[in-house]
Amino acid sequence: MIRKKAIAIAEKHIEFDDRIISANGFISRDLFSISDAKPTFYMIGSMGLASSIGLGVALKNPGRRIFVFDGDGNILMNLGSLTTIGSLKPKNLIHVVFDNSVHESTGSQPTNTNFVSIEKIAKACNYNYTFTIRTENNFEKILRKIKKLKGPIMIVVKIQQSNEESSGRVNYEPVEMKDRFMSHNL
């Protein structure tokens, strides 16, 4: 599965009442190019903090499902976040890590997920449910299944690099994008 396909599958299973916090780099660009229909906080910069922003949003909006779209390089920068999430245990947080084991946007240098399992770390950090997904069918199945489960939930989606041209940048100004995201919370 390539990232763009994986993100398209995840996006399809997200409802308008849910919220997405999308990590900087190709993840946000792919999501934006696939669909901008669901209320999304697209990050540019502050690499590593998607799960922290997601935690803050989740704590304040206990009635909504909050999806964090993260990358392996991103979460490896902020592993402490897993312990904070696992301590506070927000039931509504779904942490999806698109894991290609490289820093793709900087030239595909390897990351440590070649050797260490993020899923196992999340499990050790008290996430209620953790999954590692390798196929599209399985990803669809898990996304349906988690509707009945209490978080925090981690889904590691193993993806391959693709030769496709990368998606364009998110074309909102950051402040405009934030105001738009906040207006959905009214």
Partner 1 sequence: MKEVIQRKIFDYLLKNKIYNFVGVPDSTMKHFIDQGLKRNKILIATREDEAIGIAAGMSLFLEVSEEKMLRSNSLVFMQNAGFANSISTITSLVQLYQIPMIFLIGWRGFLEDDAPEHTKIGKIQPKLLNALSLQSMILGEKDWKKSCDSALKLIREGKSCALIIPREFID
Q: 102-103 and 109-110 as β-strands: parallel, antiparallel, unpaired?
A: antiparallel
Q: How far is the C-alpha of 149 from the C-alpha of 152, rounded, in Å?
A: 9
Q: Which two tokens stand for residue 129?
A: 């449910």
Q: Write down the least CB distance from residue 12 to partner 1, Å.
A: 24
Residues 42-101 contacting partner 1, CB under 8 A: 43-46, 48-49, 52-61, 78, 80-81, 83-84, 88
Binding string to partner 1 for residues 166 to 185, with x set by CB under 8 A, is what?
--------xx-xx--xx--x
The torsion angles phi and psi of 156, rounded to 5 degrees, stand at: -90, 120
| Shortest CB 163 distance to partner 1, Å | 30
Residue 21 φ then ψ, to 5°: -110, 115
The minimum distance between CB 150 and partner 1, in angstroms, equals 20
Residue 123 or 180: which CB sits closer to partner 1? 180
Q: Does 32 bind partner 1 (CB under 8 A)?
A: no
CA dist., res. 167 & res. 45, Å (int): 17
- Looking at beta carbons only, is 57 or 94 nearer to partner 1? 57
